[in-house]
Structure 1
Amino acid sequence: MKTHLNHVRVNVSNITRALKWYEEILGFENDGGWPMENPTYYDFKSEEGAKFAIMEVKDKQSHGRMNFDVEHVDELWESLKDKVEIVESLYDTPWGTRKFTIRDLDGNELGFGGKVNDH
């Protein structure tokens, strides 16, 4: 399988404290939060390559997350869903893609997404 890494997310225990640290100490530029009314997730601006983000996660078993763009996401879902620990089942995102997330053997989350017209 060929992939394109498009997103790396670090899980944090306190989104407000973490956002302030990344902005004020490291100089990262916030590119928006989600959900809009009470963000628990923030992207940071990037020039090229994978986007970096932080998300407040209370689950002590959850580590980082990497999201990959893949072709034929529905086919990949069908081939993996009975073999892996599922974090999020395949769903349509508000951004016009389909996505699912699994957990690797060490608790890291791996998201796989593709265009809606792949199914």
Structure 2
Amino acid sequence: MGEIVRSAWKIIPQFSSRSIEATAKFYADELSFIVGGLYPEDAAEPTFCSVFIGKKAEANIYFHKCPPDDFRPSKAMIAMGTKQLDEYHDHLRARGAIEFVHPIKDEVWGYRQFTVKDNDGNELTFFKFLEGGNPGDE
């Protein structure tokens, strides 16, 4: 059983969205994510999209359109490289259109992190480890 569970290599959070087109636009234009696709492609209003950053889409989020009454915001954390975290923070801060929920700072639990809110109220916390190095440092 140990070998089977060690074969897991990625997790993809699924968030709700009030408008898939608005979500895809926000993540691409404001957060500099890459839109993996909108589905169905020929629909007037798509019901699904995938956005990602990182090598091989390592930080990937799926969005599903939901009725406004069913919408509940979600949260996720995305780990970044040691110097890239501060560079990304500065990039977002310079854009001026991002709502920062928590400013960048070193936390007592050993992370340097900041949290932003997307156009639907979903929160993303970007972080790095303060000790021990971070994958993606190169």
TM > 0.5 between the two?
A: no
The structure with more radius of gyration? 2
- TM-score, length of structure 2 as denominator length: 0.39
